[in-house]
Chains A and B, each alone.
Chain A
Amino acid sequence: MTLLPDLVSRAAGRHAQRDAVVMGSRRLSYAALEQASNRLARSLIAHGVRRGDRVALWLPKSPEAVVALYGVMKAGAAYVPVDPGAPPARMAWIARNCEVAGLVTCADRIARVDEAFAGRPPMRALWVTDDAADAPRVAGLPTVTWPALAAESAERPAVPAVDADLAYVLYTSGSTGDPKGVMLSHRNALAFVEWAGDTFGVTSEDRLANHAPFHFDLSTFDLFAAARAGAALYPVPPRLFAFPAAVAKSWCEQRLTVWYATPSTLVLFLTRGGLASLDLSALRVLLFAGEVFPVKYLRELMRLAPHARFANLYGPTETNVCTWYDVKGIPADDAPLPIGVPCCNDEALVLDESLKPVPGGGAGELWVRGATVMQGYWGDPGRTALALQSIEVAPGISDRAYRTGDIVRRRADGDLEFLGRRDHQVKTRGYRVELGEIETTLHRHPAVDEAVVVAIPDEEITNRLKAVVVTRPGAAVSEADLRQHCAATLPRYMVPEAIEFRAALPRTSSGKVDRRALQELSS
């Protein structure tokens, strides 16, 4: 039995002085990461964090953020990484929804934390990752600054736990207007990490890029496959994050060997990052996930790094990676890459509406059972019961399976092909967005009568979001007003880039809003 933080403890035994985290000019060895996370775990426990609790992280990427997530797990709690770019109101909503026992943040966010909780913070204490001796305090809340952790023992605290316990909760867009917290256990994560580490041969000699933010499940490969092998993790410094040319250059100069990113990120490396003029000789494995990779860009990337291994990984947050396609070449007809075959001890079921297998290569909905399937949505048995259902896999075998909402078909060669969605979930820059969540947010504005959000296909970032709004009679509201309203509660990537005002929305003959017509008008 292994827990995720055991990966670091073991690496600290075998590779104590090797780099665990390298970020800009800062380096943290495995010994240092082990000791710092042990001290934080002891501090969390001393302030009442118990096995089974949740602790939120709301801070930019830093070596301390890595220390924090291991420290939380070593205390027997689950870490809840919140988008550092999310507005304080969303952070506070998630912290309350998940009933967090603690929050780890940085000094320049304390004032926003204080304001967001309006004097009633749900947690028992606050941890601040810098030397915040003169920083403001949150009223009524003990604050532990990073230098104060030095007083704690560097021995890992003994906390009883098994790998079925929760390791982290990732909040994702919810169609009814509120985010939902996907609960993943240590075993869920390890089923993926062990498969990926073995399949791509990650060793202590590797240097892994970390582009995905920690609230995005792509980061679980970077973090935990690196720790499992005693390899070095290279998180992108926040200062570089928005600049494809700067990130691509730093990865090539640092000779990173394993890259895992969304196609949107990699396409920007090609189109805006000058990748063609960089030295890619150190790149050994290039993994991508989160959206469909436009074939013309993938071909270009494979041409630039002919020696590297490419793989398309597939899976929603609820299952992490559950299928993969080993990219040996681009299909001659330029057809999109398949999502491939199941992995990580998962099984892929292609079912019809009555939950019966679809015969002979027909289109059906993808259901997934097996080792990576989530434990449920935090505090939401209703949505959990809809998403996780018992399916008869074969006579005498029934198991809990996750309903992905993705429509797929199984080709004659066994590879699964992604065909589309059965609902209004879309991808933009690899992020998963429920159009309904944005629509609900727009509806909360008093001047809005009707609102529909459409996704406009885009070659570089998969989709751009556009809202079409009908305002109440006599109400005066501008595009800037509505974007400001959205940005107060939604993450940045969910704020529609364009908002169009119309006197009425097109309707189908049955009186429903005609999304297809709106889509066509906008494309």
Chain B
Amino acid sequence: MTATEAAIREFLVTEVFYDRDLTDLGVEDSLLERGLLDSLAILKTVTFCEEHFGIAIPDGEVLPDHFESVQAIAALVERQRGSA
């Protein structure tokens, strides 16, 4: 797990899923299949990534494929870092 993935995973577990016992959440596991994300959870995650990693995520990038898993969100963060 990369440092970016670890930070995103930690945020999701404590601040989005409210379940620190969610120890089995792997970086490739589908977040969307779990049915736990709503639009507010996505907005919180976007805000967290923007503040924590000092990047901007345009609304047009906030799409299911980019939030499929911890790994997908980390890839989005890295792409936005590259384009900054």
Contacts and interface: CB of A to CB of B under 8 A. Distances in A.
A332 interface: no
A345 to B, nearest CB: 35
A146 interface: no
B20 to A, nearest CB: 6
B20 A484 contact: yes
Contact of A240 (B43, B59, B64): B64
B30 to A, nearest CB: 9
Given A484-B18, A487-B19, A493 B62 contact: no
B84 interface: no
B39 A245 contact: no
A243 B42 contact: yes
Interface stretch (A222-230, A266-274, A334-342, A413-421): A266-274
A495 B18 contact: yes
A243 B35 contact: no
A174 interface: no
B60 to A, nearest CB: 6
Q: What size tier do the contact residues of chain A reach?
A: 20 to 34
Contact of B38 (A60, A274, A484, A493): A493
Nearest to A480: B14
Interface in A214-246: 238-246
A523 B18 CA distance: 24
B3 interface: no
A265 B62 CA distance: 16
A272 B43 contact: yes
Contacts of B21: 484
Contacts of B40: 429, 461, 493
A457 to B, nearest CB: 16
Nearest to A486: B18
A219 B53 CA distance: 39
Contacts of A60: 35
B50 to A, nearest CB: 13
B13 to A, nearest CB: 9
A85 B38 contact: yes
Given A272-B43, A272-B59, A484-B19, A246 B64 contact: yes
A245 B60 contact: yes
Max count, chain A CB within 10 A of own CB: residue among B32, B36, B39, B42: B39
A245 B63 contact: yes
A395 B76 CA distance: 68
Contacts of B64: 239-240, 243, 246
B35 A84 contact: yes
Contact of A273 (B19, B35, B41, B59): B59
B59 A242 contact: no
A240 B63 CA distance: 8
Interface in A23-75: 60
30 contacts: A60-B35, A84-B35, A85-B36, A239-B33, A239-B64, A240-B64, A242-B37, A242-B39, A242-B42, A242-B67, A243-B63, A243-B67, A244-B39, A244-B62, A245-B63, A246-B64, A272-B59, A272-B62, A273-B59, A429-B40, A480-B14, A480-B15, A480-B20, A483-B18, A484-B20, A487-B17, A487-B18, A492-B36, A493-B38, A493-B40
| 9 closest Cβ pairs, A-B complex | A487-B18, A483-B18, A242-B37, A242-B42, A242-B39, A272-B59, A239-B32, A480-B14, A484-B18
